[in-house]
Chain A
Amino acid sequence: MATTSVQATLAAATRDGLLRTPIPFRGGGFAPSSNALLAVAGLGSFLVLWELAFAMRWVNPVLLPGPIEVAQALWHLLITGELEKHLSASLYRIGIGWALGAVGGVALGLAIGLSTAARSIGIPGVSALFPIPKIAIMPILILWLGIGEASKVATIGLGVFFPMAVATFGAIDNVPRNLVRMAQSFNVPFAQVVRKVLLPGALPGILSGFRISASIALLLVVAAEMIGADRGIGAFVMQAGNLMQTDQLLAGVAVLSMLGLLIGIGLSRLERALLAWR
């Protein structure tokens, strides 16, 4: 009904010889999407270009080995068990350091989110200590704890602790206060308000803290292993550099890249499983 009358008006307008200006489309763009084909093509051309640079001797092959050499080095690391030796040492340090730092950081963040005393002392403390690059205090940690595992784990733990504390209290602060009031209005006891309202409500923020702190842990384990270790991916990369074994070196870097990628995928899985309610 409405359209016919509009059409009738338009038809009448043209009959009368009036100008009819179509409205141009102007709503395009600003909506990028991901194309798997383009992604593969991009990665592929990068590898081809790299191999070409190597094969054509555009750069000194000692400084930049080709992708095939790096892949061969990686394969060699895998079958000789070298990879397992170094990777397990790094994973052990990340695992323990990250777990200790995360548990401590979440606990401190929760305390800051709940208590005036913890907040008054904790926030200035965290603000002062968070910006210190943790690798800068590794020498003192080595003096205190020795050159062994403890100082490396402690460096990672400290690196993880502060961002986890910040992420946690921010997340607790962001839980809508109305949910807390609701729980109080039903006389839900304090500990249960924390367990059933604040912690689940803070979970999205805590999980994104996991993401940040995991990449910090990866960074610190490599740095710590470069300073003093004979095992670990960081140590391996360092040794390969000293010996000019650039194919080995880049193989180690590739392992780190994949490790970071796997941790990211694992965390995304965790988020999807735990935050399905969002």
Chain B
Amino acid sequence: MRLVVEGVWHAFGATAVLEDISLTVDASEVVVVIGPSGCGKSTLLSIVGGLLQPVAGTVAIEGAPPKESLNPITFVFQDFALLPWRSVRDNVAFALEHHALSRAERDRLVHDALARTGLSDFAGALPKQLSGGMRQRVGIARALAVSPAVCLMDEPLSALDAQTREILLEDFRLIWERERVATVYITHNLDEALRLADRVVVLSRRPGRIKDVIAVPIPRPERTSEAAAPELARLHNRLWRLIRDEAIAADRELALH
């Protein structure tokens, strides 16, 4: 099974936003998309997830998704998108309630998802009682509960403070090592990209085109080790060179609007 994006173009009215985006994401691969503000990253993810119709191009899953998958393409949102009137448990259950599952089966899936994200002790809490990091864990638990084939994450850590982000980044890595869900992950943060990605897709400023695709050939668990530091620094520089001018130009364009 793999995700195939082919020749996607998009425009909002007269504003061209995406130009000829093609990429594939293999099973259990993490593809990180970076690019300057407003270049169309979120637009691309919405198109991939079927929440927005592109002007041209197609998105497809090639091959059958795992049959236990209740929602093959699943989002994790930047602002968590939790229902504030539902407890943690019921927020996770929300993703399952419309499926033909027995009560016991649903409870088991919710219970499992909470256990896998370290939320079991908070099952009865309301979102307002949780820290930002905990709320995003609920977002991840809800996504894992439906056994996605592809997980789409739009800046899932950008609403969090730096320390929480670091902690969650490590959690993500561990969860993803274990679950092996194919993922498209959007971020502004190059370090985040280099910690998680198998490949980094660099978009140009708006209209976003694929400027380069860079593989990160270091096994994920080793990326925090001293030995990996020089190679990661090299990759970081290379990414920064690719987006620096784009980011500056995009910034100026925004200022002129």
State the Cβ distance, A148 to closest chain B Cβ, in Å: 43
Answer yes or no: B219 CB below 8 A from chain A CBs: no
Are A277 and B85 neighbours in the complex by a CB distance under 8 Å?
yes
- From the candidates B71, B74, B83, B95, name the one contacting A197 in the complex (CB within 8 A): B83
Q: Give the interface segment out of A118-126, A180-188, A241-249.
A: A180-188
- CB-CB contacts of A186-210 with B at 8 A, as 1s and 0s? 1111001000110011000000000
Known: A186-B74, A278-B128. A179 touches B83 (CB 8 A): yes
State the Cβ distance, A100 to closest chain B Cβ, in Å: 28
Answer yes or no: A4 CB below 8 A from chain B CBs: no
Answer yes or no: A45 CB below 8 A from chain B CBs: no
Tell me the nearest residue of chain B to A192, going by C-beta: B98
Judged by DSSP, the binding face of B is loop
Answer yes or no: A178 CB below 8 A from chain B CBs: yes
Tell me the nearest residue of chain B to A197, going by C-beta: B83
Known: A181-B51, A277-B126, A277-B128. A186 touches B81 (CB 8 A): no
State the Cβ distance, A175 to closest chain B Cβ, in Å: 10
Are A277 and B84 neighbours in the complex by a CB distance under 8 Å?
yes
| Most chain A beta-carbon neighbours within 10 Å: one of B49, B71, B83, B146 | B83
- CB-CB contacts of B75-91 with A at 8 A, as 1s and 0s? 10101010111100000
In the bound assembly, the distance between CA atoms of A183 and B75 in angstroms comes to 10
Known: A192-B98, A277-B128. A187 touches B71 (CB 8 A): yes
Q: Which residues of A contact B128 (CB under 8 A)?
A: 277-278
Tell me the nearest residue of chain B to A179, going by C-beta: B81
Tell me the nearest residue of chain A to B81, going by C-beta: A182
In the bound assembly, the distance between CA atoms of A188 and B74 in angstroms comes to 12
| Most chain B beta-carbon neighbours within 10 Å: one of A184, A185, A200, A201 | A185
Q: Which residues of B contact A183 (CB under 8 A)?
A: 94
State the Cβ distance, A46 to closest chain B Cβ, in Å: 41
Are B79 and A186 neighbours in the complex by a CB distance under 8 Å?
no
Q: Which residues of A contact B81 (CB under 8 A)?
A: 176, 178-179, 181-182
Are B98 and A187 neighbours in the complex by a CB distance under 8 Å?
yes
Number of B residues with CB within 8 Å of any CB on chain A? 22
Are A185 and B79 neighbours in the complex by a CB distance under 8 Å?
no
Answer yes or no: B253 CB below 8 A from chain A CBs: no
Answer yes or no: B170 CB below 8 A from chain A CBs: no
Q: Which residues of B contact A188 (CB under 8 A)?
A: 94, 97-98
Judged by DSSP, the binding face of A is helix
In the bound assembly, the distance between CA atoms of A188 and B84 in angstroms comes to 17
Q: Which residues of A contact B126 (CB under 8 A)?
A: 277
Q: Chain A, interface size: which category? A: 10 to 19
In the bound assembly, the distance between CA atoms of A186 and B75 in angstroms comes to 8
Known: A185-B49, A192-B98, A277-B128. A178 touches B83 (CB 8 A): no
Are A186 and B71 neighbours in the complex by a CB distance under 8 Å?
yes
- CB-CB contacts of B158-179 with A at 8 A, as 1s and 0s? 0000000000000000000000
- From the candidates B50, B86, B98, name the one contacting A189 in the complex (CB within 8 A): B98
State the Cβ distance, B133 to closest chain A Cβ, in Å: 19
Q: Which residues of B contact A184 (CB under 8 A)?
A: 51
Q: Which residues of B contact A201 (CB under 8 A)?
A: 83, 85
Tell me the nearest residue of chain A to B96, going by C-beta: A186
In the bound assembly, the distance between CA atoms of A65 and B249 in angstroms comes to 79
Q: Which residues of A contact B77 (CB under 8 A)?
A: 178, 182
Are A182 and B75 neighbours in the complex by a CB distance under 8 Å?
yes
- From the candidates B73, B74, B85, B146, name the one contacting A200 in the complex (CB within 8 A): B85
State the Cβ distance, B152 to closest chain A Cβ, in Å: 8
Chain B, 112-129, CB within 8 A of any chain A CB: 126-128
Are A185 and B75 neighbours in the complex by a CB distance under 8 Å?
yes
- From the candidates A185, A189, A278, name the one contacting B74 in the complex (CB within 8 A): A185
Q: Which residues of B contact A192 (CB under 8 A)?
A: 97-98
Are A178 and B79 neighbours in the complex by a CB distance under 8 Å?
yes
Q: Which residues of A contact B74 (CB under 8 A)?
A: 185-186
State the Cβ distance, B229 to closest chain A Cβ, in Å: 34
Cross-chain pairs A/B with CB under 8 angstroms, 29 sampled: A178-B79, A179-B81, A181-B75, A181-B81, A182-B75, A182-B77, A183-B94, A184-B51, A185-B50, A185-B71, A185-B74, A185-B75, A186-B71, A186-B74, A186-B94, A186-B98, A186-B146, A189-B98, A192-B98, A196-B83, A196-B94, A196-B97, A197-B83, A200-B83, A201-B85, A277-B86, A277-B126, A277-B128, A278-B84
Beyond the given A188-B97, A188-B98, please list 13 additional residue pairs across the A-B interface where CB-CB is below 8 A.
A178-B77, A179-B83, A181-B81, A182-B75, A185-B50, A185-B75, A186-B98, A187-B71, A188-B94, A189-B98, A201-B85, A277-B127, A278-B84
